[in-house]
């Protein structure tokens, strides 16, 4: 069905049926080994939307191409990625995904009803990462991940009682916290690439604040992330680990540097400087400047006289 709208899979039971699996033991959660998936039909849609969470660890699938949003990506061994309900993915046009191995956890949002993860799952930024920012696992990390997924599977297969949901939700929380740890390790171990991101970030901010783009006001987080070819969530997480500050804080720091330069080296009024930096009200600029520097703009200027 090339060119068609994304095919929506609204339940885990429907997903099992589509992929040739037995009916799920629980309607709202399923853990599967990927090599048990049946082949997609020849007339498969270009892309798919799931109405549930997907956490997958894929291995031994070199050359298996997938599209996530507008990006294409080739998976290799030991890659893990996360999808929230409503995200689009699928095989890229003209290519057939090769055989997969690994594990996947599928959870419908209704499973989290009245549990800490009902809202708490939104804090895990990697559900918003695009797939070329996937999580690369070490052998030990793979073992840990698979171990937790097996525990989840064993729990819903063997025990369906008043404790089951709480135990499974707790195990999913453990899995997500491990993923947080693994992403943190990835940020720290990819030093060369990450320092290149910092250098490119400075270049993007320099181009904005020292050029005609400044007439538009402050750059948005989305603009900066787009110029770096990263998702906003991924960039924020990366910067938080590397510098302790998120993207918005970096933008504001660069704005304050520009404001200091203008205040100290020109005769422009505070109102003119604030308007040039995209502030509608000079009072807002003055409050922010004082909060960041400890001085009002006029006091800062007077300190140079």
> Per-residue pLDDT averaged across 112-131, rounded?
84
Q: Which tens digits make up the pLDDT trace of 67-78?
A: 443 344 444 457
Q: In this predicted structure, what is the pLDDT of residue 71?
A: 42
| Domains of the chain as residue ranges with CATH | 7-189 (2.60.120), 192-302 (1.10.10.60)
Q: Which residues pair with 88 in a beta bridge?
A: 49
Q: Rounded distance, CA 279 to CA 45, Å?
A: 47
8 Å CB contact between 34 and 100: yes
pLDDT band at 279 (very low <50, low <70, confident <90, very high): confident
Q: Which two tokens stand for residue 115?
A: 């549990």
Q: Which tens digits make up the pLDDT trace of 284-297?
A: 999 999 999 999 99
pLDDT band at 247 (very low <50, low <70, confident <90, very high): very high
Cα atoms in the 13 Å half-sphere on the side-chain side of 284: 7
Mean pLDDT (the chain) is 84
Q: Is the pLDDT reported for residue 4 higher than 70?
A: no
Q: Is the pLDDT reported for residue 63 higher than 70?
A: no
Q: In this predicted structure, what is the pLDDT of residue 7?
A: 82
Q: Rounded distance, CA 297 to CA 274, Å?
A: 10
Predicted TM-score (pTM) of the model is 0.71
Q: Is the pLDDT reported for residue 42 higher than 50?
A: yes
Strand 48-50, strand 7-9: pairing: parallel
Percent of the chain with pLDDT over 70: 84
Q: Is the pLDDT reported for residue 141 higher than 90?
A: yes
Q: How far apart are the first and last CA of the chain?
A: 72
Residues 6+ apart with CB under 8 A from 89: 47, 48, 66, 67, 68, 69, 83, 131
Q: In this predicted structure, what is the pLDDT of residue 91?
A: 54
């Amino acid at each position: 069905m090339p060119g068609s709208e994304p095919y929506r899979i609204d339940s885990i039971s429907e997903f099992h049926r589509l992929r040739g699996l037995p009916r799920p033991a629980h309607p709202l959660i399923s853990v599967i080994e990927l090599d048990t998936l049946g082949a997609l039909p020849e007339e498969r849609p270009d892309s798919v939307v799931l109405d549930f969470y997907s956490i997958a660890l894929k291995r031994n699938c070199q050359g298996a191409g997938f599209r996530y949003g507008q990006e294409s990506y080739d998976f290799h061994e030991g890659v893990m990625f996360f999808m929230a309900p409503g995200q689009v993915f699928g095989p890229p046009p003209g290519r057939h995904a090769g055989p997969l191995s690994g594990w996947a956890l599928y959870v419908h949002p209704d499973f989290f009803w009245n549990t800490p993860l009902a809202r708490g799952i939104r804090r895990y930024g990697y559900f918003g990462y695009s797939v070329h920012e996937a999580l690369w696992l070490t052998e030990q990390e793979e073992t840990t991940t698979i171990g937790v997924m097996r525990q989840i599977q064993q729990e819903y297969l063997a025990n369906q009682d008043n404790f089951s949901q709480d135990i499974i939700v707790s195990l999913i929380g453990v899995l997500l916290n491990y993923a947080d740890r693994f992403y943190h390790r990835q940020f720290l171990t990819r030093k060369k690439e990450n320092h290149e991101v910092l250098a490119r970030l400075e270049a993007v901010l320099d181009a904005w604040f020292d050029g005609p783009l400044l007439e538009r006001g402050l750059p948005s987080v989305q603009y900066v992330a787009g110029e770096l070819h990263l998702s906003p969530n991924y960039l924020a997480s990366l910067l938080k680990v590397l510098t302790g500050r998120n993207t918005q804080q970096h933008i504001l720091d660069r704005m304050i540097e520009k404001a200091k330069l203008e205040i100290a080296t020109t005769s422009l009024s505070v109102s003119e400087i604030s308007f040039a930096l995209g502030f509608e009200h000079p009072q807002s600029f003055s409050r922010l400047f004082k909060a960041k520097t400890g001085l009002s703009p006029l006091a800062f200027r007077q300190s140079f006289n």
